[in-house]
Structure 1
């Protein structure tokens, strides 16, 4: 086993979740070999053609990555591993929201425009222009240990505060024994960029505790209005001290160079890269648990 390959414990969890071999036609190359090859490319940020021969043909790995990105297999695998972690009681539902900027490599630009202008085409693929040049922003709602419950990508100049409601709406953690999936965390911790009336109203309506500090301009505006400004929102300073977990999660996943720098032209492929890395982030917590029945 080479450095960075799936361990036996990780493979024991992941193997039963993978798509079955086709009944008709040629059989697929061994899943473990191909996934290890895909992980090598994404971990090192190398071109597909440079993938070592021990992982098989690079075209096989590339085509399987693209196929599973298109049909949602990577996202489904991540969701099923998170469900296993939830069944083990390993998910910390004191959620944290944040975003990180990713530099887009020159190879990420130039996707087919489909009748759109160059700027509109880039925006559709989650690439925008900010002071850092061509960038993509990754928005994440993580559990209390910094592992992503759900993520989305936007152009780099997109506002953080407008994405919180979208992230909350995407949370779906299935229960292995059946029943409705869990959708609501106990609380959401976020920095001042997420302090808006719309976000606080959304969290209050969902019964989620907001651990979000007020920025100075909002405090000054509330005080200027006097009694009409209302009371200051509740803020748990002790709980806010744990907000660094989401930042630690970003740091941990950005060790994968194919994620820390965007090389994928298409938003669907970069989202699949994100799903793969987040899947492995969760997978490494599950083997230490007593796994429940997966049926």
Structure 2
């Protein structure tokens, strides 16, 4: 692939309809929405350079904004379509490379299931097996039967 450069007007015209447009805020609080084109340029810069999001040059919107939209576009499958439109098979290959580099975050339920599965696979006498509870479950105790107060 060629070194990174911002997309041209002609390229922007080809892909602008593929990117979902964000609705403007109804409240007048917070930052104004960043331009979708400048966000796409920032995302492409990170993809081409392989640098971290926080290392993005200042000419692009904040790295948090670019990363958030990157995740949305990636999850919806829009990014791969845009890359195919702009760069063909090389763009799709770059998307696949980025996808392989992305961390996969497991949900709490997935983590708990993985821990239970790993605990089942360990032998009982293994030092890494989960320890049996040291305290037995508390039994209910009726204090009234022991302490009878007489007046």
Calculate the TM-score normalised by the size of structure 1: 0.28
Secondary structure of the residue aligned to 1:29 is coil
Looking at structure 2, the residues matched to 259 and 44 of structure 1 have their Cα atoms a distance apart, in angstroms, of: 12
Would you say the 8 A contact 2:53–2:63 is kept in 1?
Answer: yes
Q: Does residue 87 of structure 2 align to residue 259 of structure 1?
A: no
Residues 79-118 of structure 1 mapped to structure 2, 5 A cutoff: 81=85
The structure showing larger relative contact order (alpha-carbon pairs under 8 Å, at least 6 residues apart) is: 1
TM-score of the two chains, using structure 2 as the length reference: 0.50
Match status 1:11 vs 2:16: no
More strand per residue: 1
Q: Partner residue of 1:210?
A: none
* Deviations, residues 83-135 of structure 1 (Å, cap 9, x unaligned): xxxxxxxxxxxxxxxxxxxxxxxxxxxxxxxxxxxxxxxxxxxxxxxxxxxxx
Unaligned runs of 5+ in 1: 83-146, 149-248, 268-295
Partner SS state of residue 103, structure 2:
coil
Give matches, 1:175-186, under 5 Å: none
- Pick closer, same or farther for the CA change 1:23–1:50 going to 2, 3 Å: closer
Aligned 8 A contact 1:42 1:259 in 2: no
Aligned-residue offset at 1:259: 2.9
Mapping of residues 49-198 of structure 1, within 5 Å: 49-75=54-80, 77=82, 81=85, 147-148=88-89
CA shift, 1:69, in A, is 1.8
Cα distance change of structure 1 residues 7 and 263 upon mapping to structure 2, 3 Å threshold:
same
Sort the Cα spacing of 1:31 and 1:260 in 2 relative to 1 into closer, same or farther, 3 A.
closer
SS of alignment partner, residue 66 of structure 1: helix
1:135-162: CA deviations, max 9, x gaps? Answer: xxxxxxxxxxxx44xxxxxxxxxxxxxx
Q: Where do residues 19-30 of structure 1 align in structure 2 (5 Å cutoff)?
A: 19-25=20-26, 28-30=33-35
Checking the alignment, whether the CA contact within 8 Å between 1:34 and 1:61 is kept in structure 2 is yes
The answer as to whether partners of 2:47 and 2:98 remain within 8 angstroms in 1 is no
Question: Could you say what secondary structure the match of 2:23 adopts?
Answer: coil
